[in-house]
Structure 1
Amino acid sequence: MFTGIVEEIGTVEAIEHRGEGLDARLQVRGPLVVSDARLGDSISVSGVCLTVTELPGDGTFSADVMPETLRRSALEDVGVTSPVNLERALPVGGRYGGHVVQGHVDGVGTILSRSPGPRWDDVEIGLAPELARYVAEKGSIAVSGISLTVTHVTDDSFGVSLIPTTLEATTLGTLAPGARVNLEVDVLAKYTERLLSTAGVLR
């Protein structure tokens, strides 16, 4: 489990496409997140939970990305030198600063617009209507692994405000309209819908 509090911006060092391009292996530089990493550990890469498969000892780690992950996330857009948000899994007893983030991407959104303010940016992000029903004003959503508070929501978009720390310490600080981002809605909303539907409350 993650919290959506990005620890550092990493860099994609290499991409190896395998299996006729259906899956890939990423090598990512992230000195902080690998400082205590072990093989088999989970690291969130721009909101996608990946398993560490190699630790060369040079400040990088490798992880395999399955075809399902590439289909459902914006990781297929990254290339060598691409920046990515990195977060280690939450340790037992760790500080819980964001919200429950599983690293299981629900879909891909698109930055529609950004409006700079005196010390913040207001960003509008488009998403599929089937995901929008899980998004609530003042609720939480993970955007490329970043825990953010929703400022407003429509049938096919939502807004967030980015504080200076988010602008400086995550990839959202530089993404322009048209860029794709990974979205993970609040898992509590999905479980609530599932429980109500199986109980016959929702039809």
Structure 2
Amino acid sequence: MFTGIVEELGTVRAIDFPDADADGADAVLTVAGPLATSDARAGDSIAVDGVCLTVTTVADGAFTAEVMPETLRRTTLGGLAAGDWVNLERALPVHGRLGGHVVQGHVDGVATLVRRTPGPRWDDLDFAAPAALTRYVAEKGSIALSGVSLTVTWVADEGFGVSLIPTTLAATTLGGLAPGGAVNVEVDVLAKYVERLLATSKVETTEARS
């Protein structure tokens, strides 16, 4: 589990597609991050731009992780290239503080930045997103964008907005995101479970009446 509090900006060293010609190919991602690798071991979880990945090797201040076809379809990781910056967060220790909100690293989809409005010390960002995502988004609720825990400022069927404080602008990739850029979106997991429970309850109630 993660909190959406980015620990450092990592640098993509390489992204390789061993079976590039295969249908539904996977990828091997190598990311440099001195803090993330300071205590990392094979089998550990690290969130890369909000995507929970399992470390396979650690060497020379970098780690590698395998990215499955489903992850490449659902997230922005397949579009990474050597030299790109990514947000990194190690898994939350049991004794750690939940500084953001409960983030699983299970990306639900992608949103696109359509407008960026600078303020005196902050930026307002407006994103376009499909209704399949925005149905789980609530004004003043929590959302994770490329692994960054943020508070929703507005929401509609076609998108939502967030505001970035100076720390977020300086310490994450969102600070340099330009209109047209894509972010990984993880909605609040509680919303998905509530919907699932309500749907199941409705079916059971209907069956009981029939």
> How far is 1:85 from its partner?
0.1
Query: Which has the larger displacement, 11-20 or 121-130?
Result: 11-20
> How far is 1:76 from its partner?
1.3
> How far is 1:20 from its partner?
2.4
Is 2:16 the partner of 1:16? yes
Distance 2:128 2:76 in 1: 14
Is 2:78 the partner of 1:53? no
> How far is 1:77 from its partner?
1.5
Distance 2:137 2:147 in 1: 16
Corresponding position of 2:171 = 169
Counterpart pick for 1:149 among 148, 151, 174: 151
Distance 2:133 2:15 in 1: 30
Is 2:7 the partner of 1:30? no
> Counterpart amino acid of 1:104?
H
**Where do 5+ consecutive residues of structure 2 fail to align?**
none
> How far is 1:8 from its partner?
0.2
Number of residues of Structure 1 aligned to a counterpart in Structure 2: 202
> How far is 1:18 from its partner?
1.6
Deviation readout 1:21-47 (Å, 9 max, x if unpaired):
511101100000110111100000000
Distance 2:18 2:86 in 1: 21
Corresponding position of 1:96 = 98
Distance 2:143 2:26 in 1: 27
**Where do 5+ consecutive residues of structure 1 fail to align?**
none
Question: What secondary structure sits across from 1:199 in the alignment?
Answer: helix
Q: Max radius of gyration: which structure?
A: 2
Corresponding position of 2:7 = 7
> How far is 1:156 from its partner?
1.1
Corresponding position of 2:162 = 160
Is 2:195 the partner of 1:193? yes
> How far is 1:53 from its partner?
0.2
Question: What secondary structure sits across from 1:55 in the alignment?
Answer: strand
Is 2:8 the partner of 1:41? no
Question: What secondary structure sits across from 2:174 in the alignment?
Answer: helix
Deviation readout 1:107-133 (Å, 9 max, x if unpaired):
011001100000000000111111111
> How far is 1:19 from its partner?
1.7
Deviation readout 1:132-176 (Å, 9 max, x if unpaired):
110000000000000000000011110000000000000000010
> Counterpart amino acid of 1:10?
G
